[in-house]
Structure 1
Amino acid sequence: MKKSFIFIASFLIILISCKETSTNKTERSGEPDVYNVEDDNAKMNQAMVDAKNSIEEFKIALTSKNTSYEFFTIKQKFAANDGAEHIWVRDIQLVDSDFMGIIANEPVYTDKVQLGDTIKINRASISDWMYYDEGKVVGGYTIRAIRDALSPEEQAAFDAENGLIFK
């Protein structure tokens, strides 16, 4: 569980204040880094569309009872004063036909939720999903978009810092 929280906390992604061709990282003392991405970033917007369009794949994995699958998370968009904030929700469960989970990141720009809140996922506001399959990330479309925008040196540091292996 600790591994999943640390992992999820590493990927708070906020859609504001950055150039289309770069990723701006805000480092916070004692808190995970925040990656800021402009609303019109085509690659990030496509990543969110791809995640939303493939949510059924996530649901199938979640309900499969496959013991090699773990750390199911969904990222949801929340309104903020100056745009939107996309926050990871952990410990995902399917209740009837609704995804439920716990806010996994300390919000920076929104006051709509707080760390530790249990929420029902708004399917229209899903911006990403992921889980591990034998230690490899499945999904994580927005994480991949951020990583792909980094220089090779930054990618190496990103991978080492987060211990990510993509499927």
Structure 2
Amino acid sequence: MSEEKLIPVFIPALVAILVNLEDKKGSPLSYEEVIDIRDNASVIMMEKSRADALAESRGYDDIDPENCWYDWQICRRDMDRKPDLDPGARITMTNSNDASMQQAFADARQSLSQFRKLIHSNTDEGFFPLIKTKFVLDDGNMFVWLRVVETSDTRFIAELFEVPAELRDYEIGDTFDVEDAAIMDWMINHDGAMHGG
């Protein structure tokens, strides 16, 4: 019996379901609608090699369920659907002990002074500074992007602007005091254009 990891696969593809339901609605699906559609869609567990083969036969990769809203908005942009909606930022669940990841985290922390300068030099309404930090969960580490609302020389006050299903105990707007040492990455969303990261 194969011991290959099983991953969830939407049948039909989640992106196809979202396209169909948005067309029926006649306007963009809301965040809540997208998450509800994902949570109620049909899923089968499939070995990764078979899932990869299915994606190849389809001619496209389906939406990542952990980043459903983000991936859906990027798909909408690729299909030139209007109006364009802010996708927010992707979340990542991974092994933080990986050497290349540790180097990327260190590089991000070394450039925080540059990030702070960018924050203090821009007051545009469409300017959203973001930091990535780690949430420790029972089944692994989740790296989550937070929107910076305040900064000092050694830390940031930042808030959740979207809540992944894995963070069910939190709400949009919850704030966190994040020390520089806990920052894994930073970026700026300026009217939908991403800088840094």
Could you say which structure has the larger radius of gyration?
2
Structure 2: state its 5+ residue gaps: 1-30, 32-62, 72-90
1:7-48: CA deviation from partner (whole Å, max 9, x where unpaired): xxxxxxxxxxxxxxxxxx842596446544333433333221
The code of the aligned residue for 1:138 comes to H
The structure in which a higher percent of residues are strand is 1
Partner of 2:142: 85
| CA distance, structure 1, for counterparts of residue 174 and residue 123 of structure 2 | 27
Structure 1 residue 50 corresponds to structure 2 residue 107: yes
- Give ranges in structure 1 of 5+ residues lacking alignment: 1-5, 7-24, 141-167
Q: Give secondary structure in 2 for the equivalent of 1:121.
A: strand
Superposition TM-score, scaled by structure 2 size: 0.46
Q: Deviations over 1:72-98 (max 9, x none)?
A: 111111222133221111143225764
- Aligned twin of 1:27: 65
Where relative contact order (Cα < 8 A, 6+ residues apart) is larger, the structure is: 1
Map of 2:179 onto structure 1: 122
Q: Secondary structure at the match of 2:65?
A: strand
Q: Is the 8 A contact 2:115 2:186 kept in 1?
A: yes
Cα distance in 2 for partners of 1:135, 1:27 equals 22
- TM-score of the two chains, using structure 1 as the length reference: 0.53
Provide the rounded CA distance (Å) in 2 between the counterparts of 1:67 and 1:91.
Answer: 14
Give 1:115 deviation, angstroms: 3.1
In terms of fraction of residues, the more helix-rich structure is: 2
May I ask how many residue pairs the two structures share in their alignment? 118
Residues 45 and 83 from structure 1, CA distance in 2 versus in 1: closer, same or farther, beyond 3 angstroms?
same
Instruction: Give the % identical residues.
Output: 28
Q: What are the within-5 Å matches in structure 2 for residues 145-156 of structure 1? A: none
TM-superposed deviation, 1:133: 5.8
2:122 to 54, 58, 65: 65
